[in-house]
Amino acid sequence: MHEVHIRPQWTIRQTDGAALAPRVIELLVQVLEHGSLSSACTASGVSYRHAWELIRQGEAMFGQPLVVMQRGKGSSLTPLGEKLVWADRRITARLSPLLDSLASELGAEIEKLIPTAPTLLRIHASHGFAIEALHGFLAAAQVPGDLRYCGSEEAVASLHHGSCDVAGFHVPLGAFEAEAVAHYGPWLNADTQKVIGMATRHQGLMVAPGNPKKIYTPADLARSDVRFINRQAGSGTRYLFDLQLREQGIAPEAIKGYEQCEFTHAAVAAFVASGMADAGYGVETPARQFKLDFISNQVERYFLLCEERSLAAPIVRRMLDILQSEAYQSAVNRLPGYQAVNCGRVLSLPEAFESLRPAPAGKRRTATRS
């Protein structure tokens, strides 16, 4: 298996052609992480002398300092240095999942032209940190795969049309579960499909540290002084958020920023951390990574959907072995807001979702698709 790797790299260029060396941004990120230039050098693998020269070149380009060094107190970034680090983190948050998906797709296309290439495990999935961890474990175990991130609805539709072997999607627990299952209903078949448990995770509001705008519920987003950043239409998170708005009688147009979207949870967190929005909606993990406050208001289950016949395939069995392993489940449990509940357990659709179970005699169970 030949893996394609794509990583975002950016720089700033002046009109005379002079450009900021990418290594400068890397050093600034490490200074912020470790609190000193010497520790940043160790983490980046560069000498102190070379690092200081790179910083000076960057400061000369902007005409102002990037790093402040205090004897006995380590190093800190100036507002400009912090803004460059923010830009780097936002680029990474927005592009990395998309580039990982593209790299996997390109790798799969290349493998098709190699006669000895192994069978690929094709996964189409809503982006999340448990599925991201699974991708890493599959690669480490040399399980050839083709992972493509998309919305939950698109993922289950892909499985229905035979475009993938496994589809990752999430369903809220509680009052919204039956309606969410009905939403995916056109692509679900209880007679031929199974779901594989993966994890539970918390969804909620991401807000600035200390919650200065006092945002606690979706209703607070309709205030005139609050700016919101949304997820894209078609994503499971956007669907869940819309269900909450409808339940609380909040018109989407009343929320400033409702139509402004990011494509990953991390990109939403980066947007809020930058101060460009006061709140976003998503999972807890990136909120903690960006040092935001998080107000959980929904627990949901993340599943992998597959055709029952594919469970006997060796490549799917290897995936199940990983899901059921202590190492993988420990990795998931370390993710803020995640728990490896029923991880690797194969269930029928009625076993997983109460709304798909036969109604008791004399009662009729209903679930409508929104």
> Cβ distance 39 to 22 under 8 Å?
no
Distance of CA 95 to the CA centre of its chain: 11
Span 55-81, pLDDT tens digits: 999 999 999 999 998 776 788 899 999
DSSP string, 23-53: HHHHHHHHHHHHSSHHHHHHHHT--HHHHHH
Domain boundaries, the chain: 12-110, 121-354
The predicted model scores a pTM of 0.79
b/e map of 165-192 (b: 16 or more CB within 10 Å)?
bbbbbbbbeeebbbbbbbbbeebbeeee
Q: Is the pLDDT of residue 45 over 90?
A: no
- CA dist., res. 19 & res. 291, Å (int): 31
Question: Do 351 and 163 contact (CB within 8 A), yes or no?
Answer: no
312 contact partners, CB below 8 Å, separation of at least 6: none
What is the model's pLDDT at position 6? 75
| Residues 229, 268 contacting (CB under 8 angstroms) | yes
Q: Do 12-110 and 121-354 agree at the fold level?
A: no
Average pLDDT over residues 253-262: 95
Mention every residue, 6+ apart, whose C-beta is less than 8 A from residue 206: 268, 269, 272, 279, 280, 281, 282, 286, 287, 290, 292, 293, 294
* Alpha carbons 54 and 21: distance in angstroms, whole number: 8
Distance CA 325, CA 306 (A): 20
Residue 195 burial (10 A CB sphere; 0-12, 13-18, 19+)? buried
Position 282, amino acid: G
Could you name the CATH architecture of 12-110?
Answer: Orthogonal Bundle (1.10)
pLDDT digits (tens, 9 = 90+) for 276-317: 999 999 999 999 999 999 999 999 999 999 999 999 999 999
Q: Could you identify the residue written with the tokens 């830009």? A: 87
Task: Supply the pLDDT for residue 369.
Answer: 42
Say whether domain 121-354 belongs to CATH 3.40.190.290: yes
In the predicted structure, residue 370 carries a pLDDT above the cut 50: no
- 91-118 pLDDT tens trace: 887 777 777 777 777 776 776 776 666 6
Summary mean pLDDT of the chain? 90
Q: How far apart are CA 258 and CA 329, in angstroms?
A: 35
pLDDT class for 187, splitting at 50, 70, 90? very high
CA angle 236, 88, 135 (to 5 degrees): 45
Q: What is the mean predicted confidence (pLDDT) over 181-207?
A: 97
Give per-residue pLDDT as tens, 336-359. 999 999 999 999 999 999 999 887
